[in-house]
Amino acid sequence: MTLDQALAEARGKYALIIDLNKCTGCRACELACHQRNELPGDMSYIRVYPKQKPDGSPYFLPVQCQHCVKAPCESVCPTGATYHHESGAVLVNDKTCVGCRYCMVACPYDARRYDEEKGIAEKCWLCLDWVLGGGVPACVQACAPGARIFGRLDDPDSEVSQLIASGRAKPLHPEFGTEPGILFYIFPGE
Amino acid sequence: MGQTHWGWLVAIYLFLGGMGAGSLLTAAVVELTGERYKHAFCPTTLIGAGVSGPLVIIGSLLLIFDLGAGKMEPWRIIYMFTHFTSVMTWGIWLLTLFIPVSLLYGLMEIMDNYPGILAWLRRFLKFLPATLPYRSIRRVLAGVGAVLAVGVAIYTGILLSVVRAVPLWHTPLLPLLFLVSAGSTGMGLTIDLGATIAVPDVARRFHALPIIHIVLIGLEAVLIGLVLAVAWLQGGVAAESARLVLMGPNAVIFWAFVVFPGLFYPFVVHAYAIGARRHGFISGILSGAGIVIAGLFLRYLIVFSGIPVAL
């Protein structure tokens, strides 16, 4: 297979499913993201929130950019720096972002991070350079309990497609109306 | 508590943009009704047109100053004119159109009222025929400026109201509130403060103005009440936002810097002015200053009390 063929094959739609029954809240994904993207301070594109089930027992909810189909960050961006990649990932062009932070205000998942140094609002970009080369995002690599399942959404036989089709994997807060396109969750007890 | 991404600079910018737009609207009303030409000296059109451009320019500079990469590399600002799904893009266009119109209108007012001023500019403009229909030009500028002013004032509200992630903001009442408040702060600055200081001893000559103003103040009170009531009744973080304003940490600012000086006291002063056809020198200044301060703190409250949806 030539490199061109490999790259052509890597093009497609992806999904990242987080199984909250397996997440231990260890925050390895947070740290892996911080290191892989060389982010300042303790910044990470992922935040792990401690939550409680109805019965009072704890669970953890890792949140990052959901790569929404109807992304509010994209529509409020005055420069068009935020855009959709063909893979379904929502990306930020660091050459045209002016750092107005309108996207940060508009994102209901609070998934944007502001880099004071560069004056740019950044976020999870699905480690697309690795993914398009056939790899997986840093957070998926780092997840020790295997709570993060990454795969192709355009292959109906893939694990992620099966989980989403069966209804086990669901979007987080669908009532926000942004239609998460890549991140899905298996909620506790499901 | 509230959202932390936008702060003071945005609040001040929304305030200056609204007040600049309102000042021009005030001048335009007096101009287009022909009231301006019934007096030898009309402070309202002079001040209203004169301050509108500078206020909006200062506001726009604050907006640029609040940017990150757009401040470090100013040429990036050109991209902000390109993405029309964004209300901010509409706003940049409105500001860009409003500023030259308001500056030109203000300049014409200043040169008309003070023939001795700007002698260098007059020498520079010598080539213009003396018979130009200056009055018609001024009326056109006032009319076009008024349309743009309404756009600027409404846009400052739409900017926040499209944000679904902040339920306090996400209501069509907000653009209306900002429009009404822009009109009221514009009149407060231009008439209550400006005209009162400029012509202290004159009875308020244009009797429709205090009536317009008291209607705006009343509407503003109703709209503030509605925005908070709608948020309160929604429950969740919207209700938390309303509680923050009405009885939480921001309540002192709300009652002492918005409701009393910006709504209650000016309402009393204008009710008296309508009846007596004049108001006192001190009460006019206090009313104007109160309205201006309340205009700033109203926007501060809205910006800082907007709590994002919970995850």
Confidence bin at A144 (pLDDT 50/70/90): very high
| Three-state secondary structure call for residue A109 | coil
Q: Which of A77, A98, A110 sits opposite B68 (nearest CB)?
A: A98
| Mean pLDDT score, A61-75 | 98
Instruction: Tokens for B290, please give them.
Output: 């109160």
Contact A75 B85 (CB under 8 A): yes
Does the pLDDT at position B207 exceed 80? no
Distance of alpha carbon A82 from alpha carbon A72, whole angstroms: 10
CA–CA dist B96, B80 (Å, integer)? 12
Residue A19 near residue A184 (C-beta atoms within 8 A): no
Each residue's pLDDT tens digit, A83-120: 999 889 999 999 999 999 999 999 999 999 999 999 99
Nearest chain A residue to B2 by CA: give it. A105
**Please, what is the average pLDDT of chain B?**
93
- Percent of chain B at pLDDT > 70 equals 98
Contact B16, B293 (CB under 8 A): no
Q: Chain A within 8 Å of B67 (Cβ-Cβ)?
A: yes
A98–B88: do the CB atoms touch at under 8 Å?
Answer: no
DSSP 8-state secondary structure symbol assigned to residue B171: S
Interior angle at CA A84, CA A82 and CA A90, nearest 5: 65
* Average pLDDT estimate for B56-70: 96
Quote the pLDDT of residue B104: 95
Residue A104: list chain B partners with CB under 8 A. Answer: 5
Burial class (CB in 10 A: 0-12, 13-18, 19+), B17: buried
If you search the block for the tokens 């005055």, which residue do you land on? A78
The confidence score (pLDDT) of residue B274 equals 87
Res A5 pLDDT > 80: no
Alpha-carbon distances, residue B56 vs A78, B61, B69, B177, B191 (angstroms): 19, 9, 22, 19, 18
Q: Which residues of B touch A18 (CB under 8 A)?
A: none
The rounded distance, in Å, linking the Cα atoms of A87 and A159 is 18
Cβ distance A16 to A111 under 8 Å?
Answer: no
% of chain A surpassing 90 pLDDT = 88
d(CA A14, CA A87): 6
State pTM to two decimals.
Answer: 0.94
Confidence (pLDDT) at A12: 79
Partner-chain residue, chosen from A72, A80, A107, that has the shortest CB–CB distance to B83:
A80
Give the model's confidence band at B20: pLDDT under 50 very low, under 70 low, under 90 confident, else very high.
very high
* DSSP assigned state of B307: P
Q: How many CB atoms lie within 10 A of CB B126?
A: 7
Q: Is B308 an interface residue toward A (CB < 8 Å)?
A: yes
Mean pLDDT in residue range B278-282: 83
Q: Nearest CB to B164: which of A97, A99, A177?
A: A177
Which of the four pLDDT bands, split at 50, 70 and 90, describes residue A175? very high
Distance CA A42, CA A37 (A): 12
For residue A131, what are the CA distances in angstroms to A128, A135, A169?
Answer: 5, 5, 21
Determine which of B3, B63, B73, B80 to mutate to test the interface with A (most A C-beta atoms within 10 Å): B80
State the Cα–Cα distance between residues A49 and A63, nearest whole angstrom.
8
Query: 3-class SS at A142?
Result: helix
Q: Give the pLDDT score at B203.
A: 61
Q: For the segment B155-204, what is each residue's pLDDT rounded down to a tens digit?
A: 999 999 999 999 999 999 999 999 999 999 999 999 999 988 888 766 66
Q: Are A48 and A91 in contact (CB under 8 A)?
A: no
Q: For residue A106, list chain B residues with Cβ-Cβ distance below 8 A.
A: 162-165
CB-based contacts of B215, cutoff 8 Å, min separation 6: none
How many CB atoms are located within 10 Å of the residue B75 CB? 7
List, for residues B91-118, the tens digit of each pLDDT value: 999 999 999 999 999 999 998 888 777 7
Both ends of chain A: CA-CA distance in Å?
40
Report, as an integer, the average pLDDT of B203-224: 89
Which residues lie below 8 Å from residue A181, measured CB to CB, with a gap of 6+? A66, A67, A68, A69, A88
CA distance A126 to A151: 12
Q: Is A9 a residue whose pLDDT tops 80?
A: no
Taking contacts as CB-CB distances below 8 angstroms, the residues of chain B near A75 are 85-86
Among B71, B240, B101, CA closest to B166: B240
Q: Give the pLDDT score at A170.
A: 97
DSSP helix/strand/coil, B115: coil
Instruction: Find the angle CA(A104)-CA(A106)-CA(A109) to the nearest 5 degrees.
Output: 75
Q: How far is CA B119 from CA B116, B132, B147, in A?
A: 6, 19, 31
DSSP string, A63-83: E----BTT-HHHHH-SSS-EE
More confident residue, A19 or B40: A19
Q: How confident is the model at residue A76 (pLDDT cuts 50, 70, 90)?
A: very high
Could you tell me whether strands A82-84 and A90-92 are parallel, antiparallel, or unpaired per DSSP bridges?
Answer: antiparallel
Q: Is A83 on the interface with B (CB under 8 A)?
A: no
Residue with tokens 């926000």, as numbered in its chain: A176
Cβ–Cβ contact B96 with A under 8 A: no
Mean pLDDT in chain A?
95
pLDDT tens profile B126-166: 777 777 788 899 999 999 999 999 999 999 999 999 999 99
What residues are paired with A91 via a beta bridge? A83
Beta-strand pair A14-19/A183-186? parallel
Q: State residue B275's pLDDT score.
A: 85
Q: Integer distance in angstroms from the first to the last C-alpha of chain B?
A: 14
Q: State the residue for tokens 């007596």.
A: B276
CA distance B279 to B271: 10
What CA–CA distance (Å, rounded) separates B141 from B99?
12
Q: Return the minimum-mean-pLDDT range out of A38-47, A114-123, B57-66, B267-276.
A: B267-276
Given this model, what pLDDT does residue B205 score? 67
Question: Which sign does the torsion angle of CA A105, A107, A109, A114 carry?
Answer: negative
Q: What's the whole-number mean pLDDT along residues A46-73?
A: 96
Q: Of chain A residues 3-32, which have a CB less than 8 A from chain B?
A: none
DSSP state of A97: -
Task: List beta partners, residue A58.
Answer: A52
Can you give the pLDDT at residue B202? 60
More confident of the two residues B2 and A173:
A173
Residues A154-162 have a mean pLDDT of 94
